[in-house]
Structures are given as C-alpha cells and as structure tokens.
Amino acid sequence: MSEEFGEIAEYERGDAAVRDGIAEEDNAIPLWFNVGFYGLIVFGIVYAIYYTMSGWSSAGEYQAQVAAAEARAAEVRASMPTTNPFRGDQVALTEGQTTFTTVCAACHKPDGSGLVGPSLVDPYWKYGETDEALFETVSAGRPGGMPGWEAQLGSEKIWKVLAYMETLPRSDEPGVGAPGVGGAGT
Ligand code: HEC
C-alpha cells in the first residue's frame, strides 16, 4: 500500500502500537503547518502590540466619523440663511407668487386666508412666525396636514414663496384654522 504513495519518512516510536491493523507512526510535522502555526503566533504578538500601542480603536474611529459628520452638518447649517434673503426682491416675489398660486393656494386659498390649511394672513401662528420657523414649517412640513416641500421646491423657492406670502394683505380676522377658532390648524 505505502509504495503507491511513495516513501514517507517515518520514525520508530517506543510506544508504537498496532490496533485494528492500523499502525501509529511519528511523522515529521509538515513545513506548511509549522509556517502557519508559528506565523500566526508572530502575527498575534505583533497585532497585540500594535493594537495596544497605536491607540487605534473601533470606538475611536466611530467617534472621529461622528465628529466629522457633525462638523459638516454645522458647516451646512452655518451656510443656510436664517433670515429671508428675498424680502422685497421684485423678481423673487413674482416667482414666489407663481409658486404660491400653483402649490399653496389649493389649501391656503390664493389670498392666503385659509381653506384646508389655516390662514397665512392672520396674526395667529401655530408654529411661529420667525423666518426660521416659517422656513421649517414649509420645508419639513407639519403634522396637522402640511406637507414638506424641500424635496419638490428646494430652499430657494421656499424662501421666495415665503417672501411673497408676507406681501399678502394682512387680516386681523382669525382665519380658518387659527387657534381656538376651529378648522384644520386647531
Ligand atoms: C395639502 C394642503 C396644503 C398645501 C398644498 C400647503 N399647505 Fe400649508 N398647511 C396645511 C395644513 C393642513 C396646515 C396646518 C398644519 C398643522 O396645524 O399642523 C398648514 C400650515 C402651514 C403653515 C403654518 C401656519 C401656522 O399657523 O404656523 C404655513 C406657514 C404654511 N402652511 C405655508 C404653506 C406654503 C407656503 C405652502 C406652499 C408651498 C403650503 N403651505 C402648502 C396644508 C397645506
């Protein structure tokens, strides 16, 4: 049988035994095994030293990524206007009017006095009347049925439509949806 596979170096063992016709031999450990075995030990030591000395950690890497993302977000926030940049700009107001009549008027009426959505010309504001609050309302939407328009209009058109909205004749009459008056906004 063994001739078929060629000669394999075999050493005699003091405790050599034959059981069920199978002889136990003491063969030399193959080179590939030793290379892998000692190689892994060396790798383990080098890795452990590197890991403890270099200061690298997955938690640290995560924190660095979070810090980078926060810095980017702060940059974007800082570059966003907090007051309406189109107030009084005639070209922008015309564009804002077009947006208002095609998009907003369906729910707020062309004069802004309110229909499904609340009046935008009365002095009552559920979500605030600062430029920032109004921008947030229109770009992200509000839970009472006001859709968010950021994806469809983009920031610039939102600022323009808000600039136009301000020019609509004001009315002290609480409109549809003003607080405590009934309608969609209450
Ligand atoms: C599908 C109908 C609908 C359309 C279209 C719509 N709105 Fe509204 N809007 C609403 C409703 C309903 C509310 C009340 C939301 C609430 O109370 O949570 C609202 C609320 C608002 C408010 C907040 C009012 C307050 O008292 O704080 C503003 C400002 C506003 N809309 C502006 C706009 C503008 C500008 C557009 C066009 C880009 C627009 N809306 C388009 C339905 C609509």
Neighbouring CB atoms inside 10 A of 125's CB total: 17
d(CA 172, CA 124): 9
d(CA 51, CA 13): 44
Residue-wise pLDDT tens digits, 61-109: 999 999 999 999 999 888 888 899 999 999 999 999 999 999 999 999 9
Model pTM score: 0.66
Q: Which atom of ligand 1 is nearest to the CA of 142?
A: 18
Domain with CATH 1.10.760.10 in the chain: 90-166
Q: Which atom of ligand 1 is nearest to the CA of 161?
A: 35
The architecture (CATH level 2) of 90-166 comes to: Orthogonal Bundle (1.10)
Residue-wise pLDDT tens digits, 16-27: 677 787 877 778
Residue 51 DSSP SS3: helix
> What residue owns the CA closest to ligand 1's atom 5?
104
